[in-house]
Every structure is written in C-alpha cells, then in structure tokens.
Chains A and B, each alone.
Chain A
Amino acid sequence: MIFVTVGTLPFLRLIKKMDEIAGNMDEEVIMQIGNTKYTPKNAKYFDFIESYHEIQELNRKARIVVCHDGAGSFITALQYSKPLIVVPKLKKYGECFYDNKVELAIELEKIKKIKKIIYDIDELENILKNIDTDSVTKINEHKGLILALTRYIANLEKPLDNLEVL
C-alpha cells in the first residue's frame, strides 16, 4: 500500500498526479488530502483523520510513504522507518511563499532518511515503480533531547543552593 499525505494545506499537483498513478497501478493507494479541492477517482482518500493512532497505523502498514515537505509528516513516517518520497511545494507553482522549506528534506536525503526528493512530478511514477524499499536508516532514539529537557526541568525544582551548573 502506498500512503500519500499532504498535511493541512492543499497540494493539488501531488494529489492529481498520485490519483493518475493509482489508476495505472495494482497496488492500493490511500491519500490524506487535507484542504485540497479535488476528488480522487482511483484511490481511497480522506481529508483529515480524527485519531492520530490511525495516521500512525497507515504509516505502519504502508510499503512507501509519499509526502509534502512538512516536518510533522516526516517525523510520523520515519517513526516506522518507511521509505519516504518527498514532493516539496514549489514557489514557481504558487504553492508556497519561499523555497527554503526544502532544506530539511535535503539534509534528511543526505543522511539517507529520505529516499528521494521529487521536484519534477512526472518522475514520480517511475520512482515509485523502481524504488528500493529495503535499507532505510532506522530512526534514532531521540533520547538526547528528552534527557536534556528532563534534567533541566528537574533542576528547576531544586532549592536554589543546590542547582547544578548546566
């Protein structure tokens, strides 16, 4: 199953293309379309889901996840170490105000947490058919950040004369 997610704001270019691709494929395609004003004909779709667990479940079951360049979507997909294809919104199509949002996707592609970033939507079908779905870098445990926060908060509760130097 291929899971497609675009977040809150509309992303017509991706949804339309994925609908077309779904018509050419046997594999099931499920799309979270947000506020995109388009009715897919070849894929199952919903605008938003009421429960975060269901989104997590869709990510878990997917063979490939295709998403817009939203950090929230990356993080959810990467929790399940799924091959991730990112289609960034582009200023030239009036999809966003500036193009530097894609910085994160580029960094993640460098460290192999994202399989491919697609700027030309016509490449998408080919990539989906030929992608290597093995060997995705496992998500790192974000313990470092949690630990730092826990320590800092615990320190705030100590009496003043007992504070560690952070």
Chain B
Amino acid sequence: MTEMMQLKDAFEGHEIFLITWNEKFTKALGDTYHIKTYLILEFKSIKSWFRLLSLMMLTALKEFKILIKERPDVIISTGSEIAIPICYLGNFFGKRIIYIESLARVNELSGTGKLIYPIADLFLVQWEKLAKKYKKARFEGAVI
C-alpha cells in the first residue's frame, strides 16, 4: 500500500477507492490521504493453503459486492493475494486491469504477479531486468 500511495498523483482528478488488508497501518494510510477504503481480511489470518483458499473465496464474494456497488472503470493493483479475485472479476466484466509489481520483486515475479499477468492490460515492473524477462512487462521507473 505504501507503494500505491507513492503513485497517487497519477490518479488525480479521478474518483478513487481502495481495497486493502484490514490492518491499523492500512487504515491509517487511507485516513491520511482521505481515500474511501474498504478493509477486508487480516493478514495474520492466513496460516495454511487451505485457509488461504477458503479466505480467497470469501474475499471474492466481498469484492464482487464492492465491484457491483462502485462500478470502477479501471482496477489498479500492487498485489498481494487479495488483488487476485477482484482483478479476475474485473477482467470478466470488461474493466481495465493495471498491475504494478512490487519494488521488492527484483529477479522474479511474485505469485500474485504471475497469476494476474495473463489478464493485465498494463503490467508494470520496477526493475528493468524483470521487464526483459517477461514479454508483457514494462519498466517505466520505480517508486524510489
């Protein structure tokens, strides 16, 4: 979320809302920048693959409701797992999907990145060597 907030100037003049993890820090960021924020899922509640899958289904349901309510035109994500359902749902409904891989991914895409890669309309990475590795990935700079 810190990375996304570094890029908020790109969204100036547009109506935006955030979907993010339910943590004190993310809530604080949403408040600081006065952005409508949906908090879903606590990070520490993921302890196993089974739990992850069942929580993903619950997340997909929550995100579907948000999608119907807010009707965004564009979905922009820096990951992580909670981005997967909304990107796929959004893609299904014809929304544009922009994915920005984290600065922390230097030599390899994240699991989330690999899953969203096939459906992204714009796939940005923050290290040039990563863009060379993936055909669709573009390098346009980094948050630092």
By a beta-carbon cutoff of 8 Å, the part of chain A in contact with chain B is 7-9, 35, 48-53, 71-72, 74-76, 78, 100-101, 103-104, 107-108, 113, 139-140, 142-150, 152-153, 156
Task: Write out the residue numbers on chain B whose beta carbons fall within 8 Å of the beta carbon of A52.
Answer: 25, 28-29, 31-32
Which 8 interchain pairs have the tightest Cβ spacing? A144-B141, A148-B140, A149-B10, A72-B2, A52-B32, A145-B141, A71-B104, A48-B24
In the complex, besides A35-B44, A48-B28, A145-B7, 16 extra interface pairs with C-beta distance below 8 angstroms are A48-B25, A51-B32, A52-B29, A52-B31, A71-B3, A78-B144, A113-B144, A140-B142, A142-B7, A142-B143, A145-B124, A145-B140, A146-B9, A152-B122, A153-B10, A156-B74
Size of chain B's interface in residues, with CB distance under 8 A?
Answer: 41
One of B51-59, B63-71, B95-103 at the interface:
B95-103
User: In the complex, what's the smallest C-beta–C-beta distance from A71 to chain B, in angstroms?
Assistant: 4
Q: Which one, A49, A104, A143, A145, contacts B28 given CB within 8 A?
A: A49
User: Is the C-beta of B126 less than 8 angstroms from some C-beta in chain A?
Assistant: yes
Task: Write out the residue numbers on chain A whose beta carbons fall within 8 Å of the beta carbon of B17.
Answer: none
In whole angstroms, what is the CA distance A156 to B14 when docked?
Answer: 12
In whole angstroms, what is the CA distance A51 to B30 when docked?
Answer: 10
Task: Write out the residue numbers on chain B whose beta carbons fall within 8 Å of the beta carbon of A100.
Answer: 108
User: In the complex, what's the smallest C-beta–C-beta distance from B35 to chain A, in angstroms?
Assistant: 12
B28 touches A51 (CB 8 A): yes
In whole angstroms, what is the CA distance A51 to B103 when docked?
Answer: 24
A75 touches B103 (CB 8 A): yes
In whole angstroms, what is the CA distance A51 to B25 when docked?
Answer: 8
User: In the complex, what's the smallest C-beta–C-beta distance from A133 to chain B, in angstroms?
Assistant: 19
Task: Write out the residue numbers on chain A whose beta carbons fall within 8 Å of the beta carbon of B74.
Answer: 153, 156
In whole angstroms, what is the CA distance A52 to B106 when docked?
Answer: 27
User: Is the C-beta of B62 less than 8 angstroms from some C-beta in chain A?
Assistant: no
User: In the complex, what's the smallest C-beta–C-beta distance from A69 to chain B, in angstroms?
Assistant: 8
B106 touches A103 (CB 8 A): yes
User: In the complex, what's the smallest C-beta–C-beta distance from A22 to chain B, in angstroms?
Assistant: 24
Q: Which one, B11, B104, B122, B141, contacts A142 given CB within 8 A?
A: B141
Q: Which one, A8, A53, A72, contacts B32 given CB within 8 A?
A: A53
User: Is the C-beta of B109 less than 8 angstroms from some C-beta in chain A?
Assistant: no
In whole angstroms, what is the CA distance A150 to B2 when docked?
Answer: 18
Interface centre among A76, A78, A104 (most CB of B within 10 A): A104
In whole angstroms, what is the CA distance A160 to B118 when docked?
Answer: 23
User: Is the C-beta of B43 less than 8 angstroms from some C-beta in chain A?
Assistant: yes
User: In the complex, what's the smallest C-beta–C-beta distance from A109 to chain B, in angstroms?
Assistant: 12
B140 touches A144 (CB 8 A): yes
A103 touches B10 (CB 8 A): no
In whole angstroms, what is the CA distance A35 to B43 when docked?
Answer: 12
A8 touches B25 (CB 8 A): yes
